[in-house]
Structure 1
C-alpha cells in the first residue's frame, strides 16, 4: 500500500473490509492484476495492480480525482486478512469465493450496475490494433490474394497488452450492442463506444458496416488453407485504399507482407518499381533483364506492394503486369534472350507495353540498330472474276511489308524496322469483321450485290480510308455511282390548275427515273440500276428530293420523271427547294410564289361601283381574295371581329361581276341570325349585286333560289343542310362560309353537305378559325381547299409550326391594334364579387360533393362521366351567378347580382351605355326584372329573337334608345354591330376566351368613337377564378398557327377540370 495514502482513507477502507463490503476478488495471473467488487453507495469495480508498482484503478469518483480511494484499500486489506500478498507470482490463479449476499444487498447491487454503466468509459479506455494479412486464395495465382483485416483488443497503456479477436463477427455484434466481449476464458472488455477514441469508433463502425454487408451476401470469414478463419474481414476493393490509409495513420497498425511487418503505408500513382534492361550480348544476341521490386501484387485491388509503398495500377497496367507475372512463372531467371529478327516485333508490340508499367533501359548499341517509322497502310482493292481481292502494304517509310510477298521491300541488314503491331492487328481484326478470308497474296471475299454492295462502298471503304490509303481498280470503282457526280435536277413549272415537277438525274437513263423516285419515296439509301451498278441516294440533294416526294405523295401523278401536283403545294415546294442549286422554277411559277407571299402587290382594282371607301388594309384583304381566286385557291379571311370581313368579301364579289369573271352565282352561308345582315350590307355597299335571302318554308326557299339573274344567294347553315340537293343542281361559282367555326366539326351533317357541293371558288370568314384544337382548322380547309393538308391522322402528328408554314398564304389575319390606329382603346378589367353567406354555403356543399366524386375516378371512369362532370361545373357557375337559377326556394341573395345592379345604376347616372352578356338566359331575365324595378331600361336579345327583330333592336340601341342591351352569349356573340355601347359586362365567364372576345367585339369595332371598357365579373374564391387563370394560361396555339396575340383554345381537358375543382374554401 502506498505510503502517500492518507490515514483516514486507510481507516475507511479497513471499516469496509470489516463490514464485508468486499464482495469478490479474482486473480488474473496473466495480466498480474486483481479484479474485485466493493459495495459502497454503489457497486464499484476495482483493479488492484499485482506488481510492486501498485497502479490501482477504481471506478468511483474519488479515485478519478485522487488516484486512490477506500475501495482499493479495502481490497488490499482483504487480501492481507486472507494471508495473501497483492504481489502475484508465477503461480496458478487463485479465485476467492464470493460471499453470499442478502436479499437487500442483491437488490441494491442489481440496480447499482445500471448506474455503473455510465462510468465505464472513465474506467477502462480501450485500444484496438489493426492487423492486415495477405491471404492467398489460389496457390498457383498468388496475385489473386485478398487482404484480411483482423483486430487485437486491450486496455490503453504505454505498452498495452492486446488479445487476438478470434471471431470478428461476434466482436462487431457486441460492439453494436455496447456489451461485454470475452476474448478468452479469463479476459473480457466492455465495448462501450466512449471507451474508444473518436477515430477508433469511426474506423470500427466502417469495418462493422463492411461486415454487415458481407453477412447479407452470405460471406463469413476468410478461407485460409482450406478452413474458414473467422478472425478476418476481407478488405473490400472499393474502400480498400481509404481504410488502409486510415488504419496506417493510427499508432496500432501492422501489415504483414513476405515475412515483414510494416507500420505505415504510402500509396503511389505512376511509374512502378520495375526496371527492364535491354542490351546486346557478345555473341550477337540480345538480353532483356527484368528487375521487379514488387514483392506482392494483388490484381483484385490493382495494387503492388514494395516494402511500405503501395503502387496503384490502372486497369491497363494491371492487365500488362498480370501477363508479365504469368510469363515469368515459366522461366527460372527473369532474363529473356532474343535474336535480331525478333527485334521488330519486340519493339513494336512488347516494349511499348512494358514502358507503361516500368522503366525500360535500352543500350545505345541496340538503339542504333532500330528504325522507327510511322505505319502508313495502303489497301489495294480489285474486282477479279466475281471476287473482291485485297492486298495490304504495311508501309514504314521506304520499307514495305506486303501481304503479297513480291511487293515486300526489306530494310538494310544491319537495322530492323519497328512494326506497329497494335495498328496492324487492328486492321486484321477489321478484315475479319467484314468477312475477308486470307489467301496466298492477301485477302478476298465474294463480290456483293444490291444492298451489300452499297454497304461495301458506304461502310467498308470509309472504314479503311480512316485506317490508311485506299486504292481501287477501275472495274470495281465503276460499280458505285456517287451522288456527287449523279445529282438530281428538279424543274417546277405552272400548268393550268396543276404544277409540273420534273425530275432528272445526271447520267441515269430516263426510263429508270421513275424507279429511282420510288426508291426515294421508300427512303432507300441506294438504287440498283439494271446494269447492276449502285446509285447512292444519301446526298443532301437526294434527301431534299425525297422530302418533296413525301410531301406531294398524296396528290401526285407520276409519268416518266414528271409529277403533277395541285397548285396549292407550290409555296411549300419553293420553301423546300429555295436553297437547292439544282432546282429551277419557271417564270409563271415564280410569279405565283411572289403573289402568294406578297398578295398586297397583286394587280387588282377596287370596283368603281362599291358604295364605301375601303381602308388600306381592307384593300389588301380584297386583293388577297382576288389573288387566291386567280389561282383557284381557297382561303380563310380571319381578321379580328369588327374589321370589315363582310365589306371585303362583298367588294370581291362585286369585282368579279364587273370584270365579267363570274363563275356562277355566289352562295353565302351564315348563322341564321346574320343572313339579313348580309342582305342589308350588300344592298348598302353593292346595290348592283342582286342578292336574295333564301328563308321561309321549303317551297318558299326553292322559289327564292330559282329566280333568274341573282348574283348572290344567302342562306343559313340549318337551311343549307335541308336544301343541299337544290344547291347541287344550281350553277354556283362561289361559296362563302361566314362564321366558319360553325362547321369546325367535319363529321356533322352540315359539314358533309358542304363537302358534297362542287363549287370552284370557296372562302371562309372567321375571326376564330381555331377555338378548341387544330382539327377544326383541318375541317375548315377540307371544305375550302381540299388537299392542302394530309389525312387527319398525319395532320395530328404535325407540329403547330409546320401547320402555320403550310397555311401562311391561305389565311389572312389582322387585328385592330395593328390596322386601326384611330380605333379608341379597349380597357379590360376583372371585377370580383363576394358570395353571400347562404350562397357560399350552397356553393361549398356542391363543390365538396363534386371533389369527392372526381377524386375517386380514374382516367377511364373520368371519360365515361365527362358529361355529368361538366354539368356539375355548370351548376357551380350558376351558383356564382345566382343559386335561384336552379334552386326554387332559394332566398339567400347573390353577391354578383347586387354588384351588377350597382354598376348599371351608376352607369346610367354617368350616361354610359352597356352591353351585358350571360350564357344563362334565365339569369338575363332575373337581371331584366331587377333593372326595371330600378328604372333602368333594357333591350333583351334571346336565341329565339327573329333576325329582322335583331337588326331593328341593334339600330334602335345605336340610335340612343334604352340604357342596357341584355344579350345571350350564344345568340349575340357574333354578327352584331353595337357601337352605340361604350361598356361591355361579361356577367359569367365562358370556357372559351375567344367567345368572350367576340362579344366584346360587338362594341369595339369600326365606327366606335369612345373608349370601350370591358368588365369581367368573377365570384372570388370559386371556379370562376380558376377558369380565368386557365384562360390566361392557354393562349399559345392560336398565336403559333394563326397570328400572334389573340384568343386561344378552350376545350376542357381532364387536367383542366381537376385543376378547377382543386379550389379550396
Structure 2
C-alpha cells in the first residue's frame, strides 16, 4: 500500500485539506482529510470502510502519517492568517480608501438630528447627506461603519467610507454623541439579552435621558432643530440661550373658581441641569434660577400638549397665590381676566410668645399664632378652619425654634416649661430670646425678667517683677473680692455661665473671668490666695502669663519694664548679643548658633531647658559652645555631664575635638578610682582662685563626665560640688521619676540645668513632667497636680485647652528643630516597608501560637489580664521572634525563614550597588543568626551589642567610617544613640519596635550631619502578622508627643487587652 499522489490546500478559517491517491493492491483509492491544527476534523475515502468504520480507515491513516512526517521535515507547521490580522488589514485599507475619498470630495456630509417627543420621553432620529438626506435606519450599523471606516450606501446618490472627518466640522461632536449613545444602548441590550431570548434588530431611534439632553441641546445651541410630537405634528425651532417670560393667563372658571393656562403652542423638556421650553419657532434653555422656580409649574401644566389649562377651586386660590404664583411671577407675563387676585392674598402669619416665671428655676412660655382675627395655639392646631390659608413654612420655622428651647409641656395647658434645668435656662436667655424676638412679639412678665444673663465684668491684672519672682494683682470691675472669689470657686470650664445667688446668670464664656480662672488652674494658684492681695509666682512663668493675658478677651493688664525685658529677651533669641566662642564661630551652623544663644538666654534668666533637636543636628556641640563660653568668663567654674555609659568617651572625644582648651575628666573605673577622681576634683576646685588663674595653669577639671549608672553609685561623693552647669544627655533615661537615676540627677547642686534628648516624650506625659522636675523643680507642680490638671484631661478627655495650656507653659523651655526644617542641604531619607510572607512550617508555627494567645486573651477578664500581663507580653514576644526566625525560640526548628531570606537579598543587593549598611534588631540572638549567614556568604561585618565594651564601641564606629566593611549589625537598644555612622547610606530595621522614636533614633545614626547621600531605610515586616499590625497601630494611635514635642509612639506596657486582641487579628 502506497501513496501515488497528494495535494494540500488551505481554507479561510485556518483549516487545511489534504487530497491523496492510495494504491492498495490493484485498486486506487481517493482519500480526503480535513485538518485543523494537529487534529483530523473529518475525512473521506472511496474504500468500503471509508464512511462506516470507527476511526480512520487504513488508507486515511497512511495519508495522515505521511503528511505528519512531511510537516516535521519542513520548517514547521503551516501558518494560516488569523481572523484578527485579516480584520486589521481590512480596516486599515478602508481608512486609506476613506482618506482618498475625503480628499476627493468637494462637500462634507451633514448629520441632522430630529427630536421626537412622546408621552414625556425624548428620543433622537438622524439623517445624513449632502443635498439629499437619507434617514439612518440602523444606527448600530452606522456606528460600526464609523469605527471600522467601512463604505456604506444609503441610496443612489450617497455612498461613502465612514469616519468622523467626512462629516462637517460642526456635526462631528454630534456624531460623537451618537456613537456614545449607541454604545450605551448596546451595553444595556447585551445585559438584557443574557436573561431573555431577544435578538438585536436595526436601531432607528436613540433614547435621550435627562443627562444627555443637556449635552445635546448645548451642541445644538444657535442651530435649527426639527421636533416631532406624539400626535404626528412637527415644527422646526432654533435652540438658544435666552431669558424666558412665560405667558400665563388667569381667568374666572365656573361659579367661584379660576383657570390658569399657558400658551398652547408651548412644550417643555426637563434636563438634568434645567428646563428647555419651546414654541413653534424657538427652544429656550432656561438658566438655573428659572428652572428652579418654573420647573414644577411647567412639569404639571405642560403634561398634556392639547390642553395647558388647570382649574383651581376657591378655597385653594390663596394657597396657589402665595405658594406658586409669587414664585413664578418674576419669570412670567401675567394676563388676568375677571379675577381680583389681591382679594385672595392670604392673611399674614403673626406670632406672640408670652414668658412668665414662678421661681428662679422655672420659665414658662405660651405661644400664640394668628391669621387676621383668628388666633390659635400651635400646641392645639387641629381645629383651625380649612378656609384659613396657613403659612406652612412659617409655622414650621416657629415650631423648630420652640422645640429647640422647650422640651416639655406644662401638663395639659397651653404653656411650655423649663424647670430645674440651668443649662436650658441659660441657652434660652442667652440665645433663644433673640430668636423669638425675630419671629414675633415677645411679652415678658416682671418675674421672668429677674432671670437674666449679665455681661462679664472687665478684669484687670497687674504684674511686677521682684527679683526671681513675679507679683500678680487681680481685680474685677464692679465686683467685690468675695463675689469674685465665689465665681472663681464655682468656675466649671465646661459651662459658659455662672449662676449667681439671686438667680441671675453671669456670662463667663471667652472673657476675662474665664482667662483668670484657667490661668489660676494652670499655675496651681489657690483662688483665695490670688484675691487676698499680691500673689508671687516664679519668674519662669513670665512667657506663659504674657501669652495668656495677651490672647485673653475681656481683660486688661499692666506689666512693668523688667517683666517686659524678660519676655522680650526670650522672644528675640536670634537677635541677642551673646557672642559665640571664637574657636567655634566657623564650626557652628546658623541654627546651632541660635541654639547656643537660646541656652545662654535661659541661663542668664535663671531657667533650665530641654534642647530637643532632631537626632543628628548636633546637640552636643551646642552644649560644648555653652561650656566653652562659661570657661572663658569663669575658668574656675565646674560643670557636670551625665550620659549613658556608652556615650561617656564620645563626650570626652567631642570636648577634646571642639574645645581642646577645657580640662575634661571622665569619672570612670573602679569605685575607689572614681572616689579619688572626685576627691581631687573637689580639692583642686577649692584651691583655684581668680588670682591664681591669672598666673597659674588650670589644674582642676572644668568638665566632669559620668554615666547615670555610676552617678547613682557615687552620689554621696558629689555632695561637696556646686556645679555651674549640669547637663543630662539622652534625658529619657530619667523618664521614670521613681528610678534611682532620676532621683540621683535631681540631688546634684547646679546653678543651671540642661537636658538633651530627641524624644522628651516616648510613651507618657509623665516623662515630660519628670524631665522638668529635674530642670526646674515645681515648674510643672507636683505629679499629682500635673496628672489632675494636664495628663488626665488630655489623655482621657482630649481636652484641647489643657493641651494648649501645657504647650504654653513648656514651649519657651523646649527648643525643637527638625532636620527637614534647618538642614535644607541634607539628603532625603527614603523609607520603604518590605513585606515577607511566611510559608510552610514557619506559617504553621505562627498561626498556631497566634490563635492560642488570642483565645487565651478572649477568655480573660480585666482583672485576670492585669495579673497575667507579663505572661501575655512574653507570648507576644515569642510571636515576634517566630516572624524573625522560628529558631530564636525553637531549638530544633530546621525550616526556612522568609524574612531572613529577604534580608539577605537586600544586603547582597546593597553591597553589589556599593552601599554600606546598618542593620538594627532588638534581638541580639537574631544578629547572631544574620552574622552566621553573612560569614557563610563571605561578607565582613562589625557587630555591636550591649555586651560590647565602651572603648571597643568607639573603635568599631570609627573603623566603619573609614574601612571597607560593608555591614554593621547593631542591637537597637545598645546602638540606637550616640553613634555617628554617616558612611552608611542604607538602614535596615529587621524587626519593628513598639517605640517608633527608638527606631528613628537608630536611623539617625546615618541620616545626620555629614551625610552626603540619600539614605534608604527598609523596614522588614512579615505580612498578616503582629508585625504588620504594630505598624498600623503606630499610625492609628495619635500620641501626645507629636502634639507637644514630637514623634508618634506606642508603649507595649500600656497596651490594653482590646488593643492586644486587635494586634492579633488579621486586620487591625
Decide which of 952, 969, 975 is 2:972's aligned counterpart.
969
Asked if the contact 2:979–2:1005 (Cα under 8 Å) also holds between the matched residues in 1, the reply is yes
Q: Is the 2:647–2:978 contact (alpha carbons within 8 Å) kept by the matching residues of 1? A: yes
Counterpart of 2:667 in structure 1 is 694
Whole-angstrom distance in 2 between the partners of 1:535 and 1:994: 49
Find the counterpart in structure 1 of residue 624 from structure 2: 650
Aligned residue number for residue 581 of structure 2 = 607
Distance change >3 Å, CA 809–CA 467, structure 1 → 2:
same
Q: Does 1:569 align with 2:541?
A: yes
Contact 2:733 2:741 in 1 (8 A): no
Match of 2:1000 in 1: 997
How far does the alpha carbon of each residue in 1:225-259 deviate from its partner, in whole angstroms, 9 at most, with x for none? xxxxxxxxxxxxxxxxxxxxxxxxxxxxxxxxxxx
Q: 1:791 maps to which residue?
A: 786
Residues 190-231 of structure 1: CA distance to partner in whole angstroms, max 9, x if unpaired?
xxxxxxxxxxxxxxxxxxxxxxxxxxxxxxxxxxxxxxxxxx
Cα distance change on mapping 1:547 and 1:1025 into 2, 3 Å: closer
The 1:535–1:630 alpha-carbon spacing in structure 2 relative to 1, beyond 3 Å, is farther
Q: Give the CA deviation at 1:536.
A: 7.9
Is 1:755 matched with 2:743? no
Give the Cα separation in 1 of the matches to 2:648 and 2:804: 36
Cα distance in 1 for partners of 2:455, 2:755 equals: 46
**Which residue matches 1:553?**
524
The equivalent of 1:1006 in structure 2 is 1009
1:696, distance to aligned residue in structure 2 (A): 1.6
Relative to structure 1, the CA distance from residue 567 to residue 515 in structure 2 (aligned partners, 3 Å threshold; closer, same or farther) is farther
SS in 2 for 1:760: strand
Contact 1:833-1:895 at 8 Å conserved across structures: yes
| Whole-angstrom distance in 2 between the partners of 1:526 and 1:897 | 66
* Structure 2 residue 933 is the aligned partner of structure 1 residue 930: yes
Secondary structure (helix, strand or coil) at the match of 1:927 reads helix
Superposition pairs for residues 67-86 of structure 1, below 5 Å? none
Distance 1:699 1:592 in 2: 46
Partner SS, residue 918 of structure 2: strand
Are 2:466 and 1:498 equivalent residues in the alignment? Answer: no
- Alpha carbons 1:521, 1:549 under 8 Å: kept: no
Alpha-carbon distance, 1:481 to partner: 15
Structure 1 residue 764 corresponds to structure 2 residue 755: yes
Task: Note the C-alpha offset of 1:934.
Answer: 1.4
8 Å CA contact retained: 1:939, 1:965: yes
Whether 1:837 aligns to 2:809 is no
Equivalent in the alignment of 2:770? 779
Query: Relative to 1, partners in 2 of residues 1:984 and 1:552: Cα closer, same or farther, differing over 3 Å?
Result: closer
* CA–CA separation in structure 2 for the residues paired with 1:792 and 1:773: 11
- Counterparts in 2 of 1:239-254, with a 5 A limit? none
Query: 1 CA distance for matches of 2:829 and 2:949?
Result: 30
Task: Please state if 1:584 is matched with 2:558.
Answer: yes
Secondary structure in structure 2 of the residue aligned to 1:1016: strand
CA–CA distance in 2 between the matches of 1:836 and 1:805?
53
- Whether 2:605 is the aligned partner of 1:631: answer yes
Quote how far apart the aligned CAs of 1:573 are.
1.8
Match of 1:852, SS state, is helix
Task: State the Cα RMSD in Å.
Answer: 4.5
Name the SS of the counterpart of 1:944 in structure 2.
coil
What's the offset of the Cα at 1:791?
A: 2.7
- State how far apart, in whole Å, the 2-side matches of 1:635 and 1:503 are: 30
CA drift at 1:617: 1.0
Residue 1055 in structure 1 maps to residue 1050 in structure 2: no
Change (3 A) 1:1020 1:575: same
Structure 1 pair 1015/553, CA: closer, same or farther in 2 (3 Å)? Answer: closer
Q: Distance in 2 between matches of 1:636 and 1:776?
A: 13
Distance 1:612 1:952, change over 3 A: farther
What is the count of residue pairs matched by the alignment?
624
Aligned residue number for residue 47 of structure 2: none
**Contact 2:458/2:554 (<8 A) preserved:** no
User: 1:903-949 CA deviation, whole Å, 9 max, x = no partner?
Assistant: 32333333211111111111111211221121111111110112111
Provide the C-alpha distance between the structure 2 equivalents of 1:600 and 1:948, rounded to a whole number of angstroms: 39
Cα distance in 2 for partners of 1:481, 1:849 equals 63
User: Which one is further off, 582-591 or 547-556?
Assistant: 547-556
Query: Per-residue deviation at 1:637?
Result: 1.1
Distance 1:527 1:950, change over 3 A: same
* Offset of residue 593 of structure 1: 2.4
Which of 708, 711, 714 is matched with 1:723 structurally?
714
Alpha-carbon distance change, 483 to 987 in structure 1, aligned in 2, over 3 angstroms:
closer
Paired position in structure 2 for 1:618: 592
Q: Distance in 2 between matches of 1:358 and 1:1011?
A: 81
- 1:920 and 1:993 map into 2 onto residues whose CA distance is 16
> Alignment partner for residue 678 of structure 1, among 648, 651, 655?
651
Corresponding residue number in structure 2 for 1:669: 642
Question: Contact 1:637/1:765 (CA < 8 Å) preserved in 2?
Answer: yes
Output one character per residue of 1:560-583: Cα deviation in whole Å (capped at 9) or x when no partner: 521111122222222222145521
Match of 1:744 in 2: 735
| Other-structure match for 2:923 | 920
Task: Deviation per CA, 1:969-1024: give whole Å up to 9, x if none.
Answer: 11000110011111111111111111111111101100111221111112223222
Deviation of 1:729 after TM superposition, in Å, equals: 2.8
Output the TM-score relative to the length of structure 1.
0.53
* Deviation readout 1:285-332 (Å, 9 max, x if unpaired): xxxxxxxxxxxxxxxxxxxxxxxxxxxxxxx9xxxxxxxxxxxxxxxx
Checking the alignment, whether the CA contact within 8 Å between 2:1033 and 2:1050 is kept in structure 1 is no
Name which of 595, 603, 618 aligns with 2:569: 595
Change (3 A) 1:954 1:513: same
**Structure 1 CA distance, aligned partners of 2:384 and 2:1063?**
73
Structure number with larger C-alpha Rg: 1
Residue 829 (structure 1) shift? 1.4
Change (3 A) 1:844 1:758: same
Quote the residue 1:302 is aligned against.
Answer: none
Structure 2, unmatched stretches of 5+, are: 1-314, 319-350, 352-369, 386-414, 421-428, 686-699
Would the aligned equivalents of 1:670 and 1:737 in 2 still touch at CA under 8 Å? Answer: yes
Q: State the alpha-carbon separation in 2 of the partners of residues 522 and 973 from structure 1.
A: 50
Q: How far apart are the structure 1 equivalents of 2:999 and 2:518?
A: 42
Deviation at 1:588, TM superposition (A): 2.4
Give structure 1 stretches of 5+ with no counterpart. Answer: 1-267, 272-315, 317-346, 360-428, 435-456, 472-476
Alpha carbons of 1:586 and 1:580: their partners in 2 closer, same or farther (altered >3 Å)?
farther
